[in-house]
Homo-oligomer: A and B are copies of this chain.
C-alpha cells in the first residue's frame, strides 16, 4: 500500500522545497499529493476525503503536511484538520509553515551542540533572540526554555513583543522576557541588561542586526547563531557557513544559516518519516525537536 502524503498549502504553489524533502525522506512508496490555494474552510472537506477511502487500520499510510508561508493560517488549518478527524479515522498531521518548526529546531540543535562542545549544558543559560517575535524566533525561544534556558526576545515594538510572549506562553507554556530594540543603542542596552550567553538573530535577509563592535563588548556571550542566509548576515562576522567554529580570537562560537539549514533539512525529512510511523499523531514543535535527536 502506498504512503500518501496530502500536502496542504495556502499559497499559489506547493513549495518544491517541501515536496523534494518529502520525496527524499526515508519513506518508501511515497506519493505526495499537493493541494494549493487552500482556505481554512476547504480543510474539512479535504480531510473527510482523505480519511475515508482507506480502512482505519490502514490509515498509518495516509498523512497530512501543512506548508506555505502563512503561519497563522497554517495553524488554523491544522486545528481545523484535527477537529475533523475522529476515532478510528485519525491520520497523522504536521504543520511546518514557513519552515518555522524545522528552522527553529535546526537553530536550537546547533546552539545545544555548541554549548555541549564546551562541556556545558543549556540548563540555566541565558539566550536573547533579536528580531525574535516572528514564527521562527518565538519557536526558538520556546525550545530554549524547554531546554532550561532563560530567554529574552527583542522586537521593534514592545507591543508586538508582549503579544508574541503571550502567545508563546499560551501555546508552548514558555515564559520569555521582552525587549524593545530598534537601534544599536537599544541592542547594547538589552545585552547589558540581560547579560546573555547566547545570541540569536532571526531577522530578515541582508540585514545586520548585531554589530561586532557591540557583541565583542560582552564576555558573557559564548554562542551566536543567525538564520539569515544572505549577506550582510544578522550577526557581524558570523558567516552563513560557520559551523560552531570560534569567531577568530574571541572565544565565541558562531553558527550560520547554512549549517542550521542542514539540520533543518534533515529534520524535515525525519518528520515526514515520522508521520508514517503511527496513525493519529499531531506532530508539534516539541516532537519535531525530539525527532532531531533520533
- State whether the Cβ of A17 lies closer than 8 Å to any Cβ in chain B: yes
**Copies in the assembly, this chain:** 3
Contact A24 B12 (CB under 8 A): no
Contact B12 A52 (CB under 8 A): no
Q: Which of A10-28 contact B (CB under 8 A)?
A: 12-17, 19-21, 23-24
Q: How large is the interface on A (under 10, 10 to 19, 20 to 34, 35 or more residues)?
A: 20 to 34
Contact B13 A42 (CB under 8 A): yes
Contact B265 A17 (CB under 8 A): no
Partner of A15, one of B4, B20, B34, B49: B49
**Chain B residues near A23 (CB-CB < 8 A):** 2, 4, 31
Q: Which of A16, A21, A42, A265 has the most CB of B within 10 A?
A: A16
- State whether the Cβ of A62 lies closer than 8 Å to any Cβ in chain B: yes
CB distance from A31 to the nearest CB of B (A): 6
Given contact pairs A2-B24, A4-B23, A24-B2, A16 touches B42 in the complex (Cβ within 8 A): no
Instruction: Write the chain B residue with the least CB distance to A229.
Output: B52
- State whether the Cβ of A214 lies closer than 8 Å to any Cβ in chain B: no
CB distance from A37 to the nearest CB of B (A): 8
Partner of A50, one of B12, B16, B46: B16
Given contact pairs A46-B13, A265-B53, A4 touches B31 in the complex (Cβ within 8 A): no
CB distance from A147 to the nearest CB of B (A): 27
User: Please, what's the 1-or-0 string for A29-51, where 1 marks a CB less than 8 Å from any CB in chain B?
Assistant: 00101110100001001100110
Contact A52 B17 (CB under 8 A): yes
Contact B24 A1 (CB under 8 A): yes
- State whether the Cβ of A54 lies closer than 8 Å to any Cβ in chain B: yes
**Chain B residues near A34 (CB-CB < 8 A):** 33
Q: Which of A162-204 contact B (CB under 8 A)?
A: none
Partner of A49, one of B4, B17, B42, B62: B17
**Chain B residues near A225 (CB-CB < 8 A):** none
Contact B19 A33 (CB under 8 A): yes
User: Please, what's the 1-or-0 string for A44-80, where 1 marks a CB less than 8 Å from any CB in chain B?
Assistant: 0110011011100000001000000000000000000
- State whether the Cβ of A6 lies closer than 8 Å to any Cβ in chain B: yes
Q: Can you list the 4 inter-chain pairs with the closest CB atoms, starting with the nearest? A: A17-B49, A20-B53, A16-B50, A16-B49
7 A-B interface contacts by CB (under 8 A): A4-B23, A12-B42, A13-B35, A16-B35, A16-B50, A19-B33, A21-B53
